[in-house]
């Protein structure tokens, strides 16, 4: 039996963010991965999605300037865009392993299973550690319906060699909106089917409805209050069957959420408590077994399950293992972004929370120079200020919402008011140079 100071299960950003500082501090570290090294984000998640989205963004910018310097909208060549994406994704696993070796971190591929509170079995071998870190992330959920074997997931979509002509996305969350945007821009006929009329429920409904309207105008179809009962093949296509309707497509993507990767770990033998959304942790990221930590998307938490959050938690876990007396984890403001077209982003307090305590400013930015110069069809922002006129929350809907939301996050964190910005001279014209006018 080989012993380590720390064994980390999962090689995504959470696990790697813990592994490197622990090794640099002199700890012996083993990291275990049962699938692709590097985890979901760089292999089949946010990074490849953003590469495909780059084609959408380029196409959209040109389409908005038809008759204003351009006379045709470029088509996306899916196979070439996918080939470009693979120049990034294909080397990830090997690069991550090489980096671990260079850092002196042991790594093994296989499925780890706890035997007790401080031992695991891996590929028929036993390993023991003083501390463990579980960072196994999540995987796409599949509807438990008849014909579920015909459903595809977001990972399947991101690796499609050829784009189907007609695609149905089931779900009303980030993934459905983002992948539908990519598929439609690349030439597919796209329908989003949702079981109620409230997609993207974490966001302010008026801006969500505006996003839906914009997507519909681009040609994406929405079907509301649809409960999927069955999937079945029909010729070369597939049918989605409800109580009283049938929909047909070349591919049906299930984007109805994600579930924690914990089934194979035998966590009951390690005295680690779980719930449906993941592993329970304390304010120091320790599980019900104090020698075992958990971080990243595998954790049951109220914070969004995003890559930068996982990185933040992994770094905290390493620090807590090295200095158990440090304070409990405290999360900063976390921006969240829907990479649709237009993009929808928010940070801080939203309108639905205690509306009477704040002043709300709804601003139509469409005719501001930043957006008018690109002929963006619309741009809107909703800002919340407290009683002392400090910005406490923001939601933005525009093609540049992902850029502006980070600027607004800094305004909130630094507690800057409009008068404070007068001491700065920003590069112009830029998103940042718009901030003083937004804050007034």
The binding site comprises 50, 171-178, 257, 297
Nearest to 108 by CA among 178, 8, 31, 191: 31
Annotated binding site for NAD(+): 171-178, 257
Residue 395, classed as helix, strand or coil, is: strand
434: part of which helix (H) or strand (E)?
helix 431-439
Three-class secondary structure of residue 63 per DSSP: helix
Distance CA 76, CA 24 (A): 45
Which segments within 353-390 are labelled E, that is strand?
A: 359-364, 380-385
Residue 270, CA distances (Å) to 19, 112, 125, 221, 274 in order? 21, 12, 17, 48, 11
81 near 186, Cβ under 8 Å?
A: yes
Residue 201's CB: how many other CB atoms inside 10 A?
A: 11
Task: For residue 41, give the 3-state DSSP assignment.
Answer: helix
Which residues in 112-188 belong to E strands, given as ranges? 113-114, 119-122, 125-134, 138-140, 166-170
- Nearest alpha carbon to residue 75 among 85, 66, 63, 87: 63
Cβ atoms of 39 and 28 closer than 8 Å: no
> Which two three-digit tokens encode residue 99?
């980096």
C-beta separation of 310 from 295 below 8 A:
yes
Tokens coding 343: 């993009």
Please name the residues in contact with 429: beta carbons below 8 A apart, sequence gap of 6 or more.
369, 370, 373
Which residue ranges are tagged as binding site for FAD?
50, 297
Q: What end-to-end distance do the CA atoms of the chain give, in Å? A: 65
Q: How far is CA 201 from CA 153, 205, 255, 298, 397, in A?
A: 21, 7, 15, 22, 15
């Amino acid at each position: 039996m080989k012993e380590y100071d720390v064994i980390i299960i999962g090689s995504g950003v959470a696990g790697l963010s813990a592994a490197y500082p622990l090794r640099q501090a002199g700890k012996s570290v083993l990291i275990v991965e049962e699938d692709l090294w590097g985890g979901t984000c760089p292999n089949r998640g946010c990074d490849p999605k953003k590469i495909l989205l780059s084609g959408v963004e380029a196409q959209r910018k040109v389409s908005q300037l038809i008759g204003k310097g351009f006379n045709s909208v470029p088509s996306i060549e899916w196979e070439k865009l996918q080939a470009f994406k693979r120049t990034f994704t294909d080397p990830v696993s090997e690069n991550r392993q090489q980096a671990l070796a260079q850092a002196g971190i042991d790594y093994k591929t296989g499925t780890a299973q706890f035997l007790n509170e401080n031992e695991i079995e891996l590929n028929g071998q036993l390993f023991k550690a003083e501390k463990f870190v579980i960072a196994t992330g999540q995987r796409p959920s599949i509807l438990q319906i008849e014909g579920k074997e015909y459903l595809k997931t977001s990972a399947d979509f991101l690796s499609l060699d050829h784009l189907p002509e007609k695609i149905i996305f089931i779900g009303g969350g980030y993934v459905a909106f983002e992948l539908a945007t990519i598929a439609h821009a690349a030439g597919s006929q796209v329908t989003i089917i949702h079981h109620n009329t409230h997609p993207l429920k974490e966001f302010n409904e008026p801006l969500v409805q505006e996003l839906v309207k914009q997507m519909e105008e681009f040609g994406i179809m929405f079907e509301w209050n649809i409960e999927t009962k069955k999937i079945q093949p029909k010729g070369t296509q597939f049918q989605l069957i409800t109580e009283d309707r049938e929909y047909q497509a070349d591919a049906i993507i299930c984007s109805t959420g994600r579930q924690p990767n914990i089934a194979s770990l035998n966590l009951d033998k390690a005295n680690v408590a779980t719930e449906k959304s993941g592993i329970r942790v304390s304010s120091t990221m320790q599980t019900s077994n104090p020698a075992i930590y958990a971080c990243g998307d595998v954790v049951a938490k109220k914070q969004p399950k995003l890559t930068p959050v996982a990185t933040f938690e992994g770094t905290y876990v390493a620090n807590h293992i090295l200095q158990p007396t440090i304070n409990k984890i405290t999360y900063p403001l976390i921006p969240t972004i829907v990479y649709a077209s237009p993009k929808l982003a928010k940070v801080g307090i939203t309108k639905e929370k205690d509306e009477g305590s704040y002043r709300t400013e709804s601003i139509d930015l469409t005719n501001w120079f930043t957006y008018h110069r690109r002929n963006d069809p619309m741009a809107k922002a909703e800002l919340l200020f407290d009683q002392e006129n400090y910005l406490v929350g923001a939601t933005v809907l525009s093609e540049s919402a992902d850029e502006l939301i980070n600027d607004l996050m800094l305004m909130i964190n630094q507690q800057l008011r409009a008068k404070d910005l007068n001491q700065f001279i920003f590069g112009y014209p830029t998103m940042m140079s718009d901030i003083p006018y937004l804050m007034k």
